[in-house]
Structure 1
Amino acid sequence: MKKASVLMIIGPLFLLGLFVFPLWNIMLGAPQYPEPLGINIHIDGIRDVNEFDIQNIDGLNHYIGMKTLPKPEDMWEFSTFPLIIGIMVFLGSLIGLLGYLGKVNYQWFIGWFLVMSVLGVMGMYDFNQWLIDYGTNLDPNAIMKLANPDGTPMSYKPPLFGNAKMLNFDVSSLPSTGAWMMFTGMMMTVIAFFTGQRAHLLKSKK
């Protein structure tokens, strides 16, 4: 159980990487931009991949009526997500410590993982809703008004995950370093659960 508990203490600490590294990355490449434009989405705001990328993206989006990229104060998520991650890191490592001291059993480990998974799904849903609003709620007075072949307004929603073609831009949307660190930490808590379960079964057979 002690080995499982050590894994449970360490696993949630990987989520601290979200305070340093971006969670998600969106890149836009086109022939007129030899170096693609990009944004890194952190849990506390959106930042350039290269200097002036946000400024250039906002400039392009102005022509088709898209909103400017939000600043941290424009979205409640950027103040709430860091708090949620901090609480989950503290609770996860505390559960691991209590497991090491024999105060809780291994089932608490998977409980933390399930709660974190639900929060993650909710976060992805919220992110996708923002992308939908960002790509479809366009200014009717925009300089350029493009439509699909059937006459409906064209959507500029970036993909939630993967690649898409938008006008002459190739757009990619993929998890970044922070997301992979979070995934690694969460998988460590799953391993901790099965390690603790195995130790419990071996002990009960004696």
Structure 2
Amino acid sequence: MKKAGIIMVIGSLLLLGLFKFPLWNIMLGAPQYPDPLGMNIYIDGIQGVKEFDLQNIDGLNHYIGMKTIPKPEEMWEFSVFPKVILGMAVLGVLIGFLGFFEKLNYKFFLGWFLLMSVLGVAGMYDFNNWLTDYGGNLDPHAIIKVTMPDGSPMSYKPPLIGYKKLLNFDVDSWPHLGGYLLFVGMALTLVAFWIGRKATLKRVK
């Protein structure tokens, strides 16, 4: 269980990378913007990839009636997510230490992974809802109105993940370094569970 406990601690500590690196990145490219515009989404706010990217994106979105990119104080998620990540990192380290000293069962490693998975899915669901509102809840008095072939308003929702064509813009939405550290950290805690299980079964035999 010592090896499993160490891996559990390392995996949990990788979550702290989200306080330094972006969780997600969205890039917008078009013929008139050979140098794409982009925004990095952190757990406590949104920043432009370059200095004036957010200002330029808001300027473009104004013409089609989209809301401005929210500031940290305008979304409850940006105050709650850091607390959740810190709490899960501390809990994971505690479980790892107790596992190292064989004070608890290896199943706690799996329990942490499942809890983090549920929180991650809830976070992605919330993020997708924000994208839907951001790209679909348009100002009816916008300067430019583009409709679908059936006459319904066009949605400018960026993709949750992957590529999408929005008018003349190529939009890419992918995890950033913080997101990858999160995925690797969670994977390591699952590895810790399997190693802990194997060590416990071997000892029982």
- Band the TM-score falls in, shorter-chain normalisation: over 0.9
| C-alpha distance in structure 2 between counterparts of 1:6 and 1:105, whole Å | 14
| C-alpha distance in structure 1 between counterparts of 2:167 and 2:9, whole Å | 47
| C-alpha distance in structure 1 between counterparts of 2:103 and 2:204, whole Å | 18
* SS in structure 1 at match of 2:178: helix
What stretches of structure 1 of length at least 5 have no aligned partner?
none
- Say yes or no: does 1:201 pair with 2:195: no
Q: Which residue of 2 aligns with 1:27?
A: 27
Give 1:133 shift. 0.2
| C-alpha distance in structure 2 between counterparts of 1:204 and 1:110, whole Å | 20
| Identical-residue share of aligned pairs (%) | 67
Q: Which amino acid aligns with 2:73?
A: E
Give 1:51 shift. 1.2
Give runs of aligned pairs for residues 39-54 of structure 1, distance below 5 A.
39-54=39-54
Q: Which residue of 1 aligns with 2:97?
A: 97
Give 1:174 shift. 0.4
Give 1:103 shift. 1.1
What stretches of structure 2 of length at least 5 have no aligned partner?
none
**What is the TM-score when the length of structure 2 is the normalising length?**
0.99
Q: Which residue of 1 aligns with 2:7?
A: 7
Give runs of aligned pairs for residues 15-164 of structure 1, distance below 5 A.
15-164=15-164
| C-alpha distance in structure 1 between counterparts of 2:146 and 2:188, whole Å | 48
Q: Which amino acid aligns with 1:199?
A: A
1:5-44 alpha-carbon deviations (Å, 9 max, x no partner): 1111111000000000000000000000110000000000
Q: Which amino acid aligns with 2:180?
A: W
Q: Which amino acid aligns with 1:158?
A: P
**What is the TM-score when the length of structure 1 is the normalising length?**
0.99
| C-alpha distance in structure 2 between counterparts of 1:8 and 1:168, whole Å | 46
Give 1:94 shift. 0.2
| C-alpha distance in structure 1 between counterparts of 2:155 and 2:52, whole Å | 25
Aligned residues: 205
Give 1:182 shift. 0.5
Give 1:100 shift. 1.1
Runs of 4+ in 1 over 3 A off after TM superposition: none
* SS in structure 2 at match of 1:154: coil
Give runs of aligned pairs for residues 147-186 of structure 1, distance below 5 A.
147-186=147-186
* SS in structure 2 at match of 1:27: strand
Give 1:102 shift. 1.6
| C-alpha distance in structure 1 between counterparts of 2:3 and 2:57, whole Å | 49
| C-alpha distance in structure 2 between counterparts of 1:195 and 1:100, whole Å | 12
RMSD: 0.5
* SS in structure 1 at match of 2:34: strand
1:125-148 alpha-carbon deviations (Å, 9 max, x no partner): 000000000001000110011101
1:156-189 alpha-carbon deviations (Å, 9 max, x no partner): 0000000000000000000010000001111110
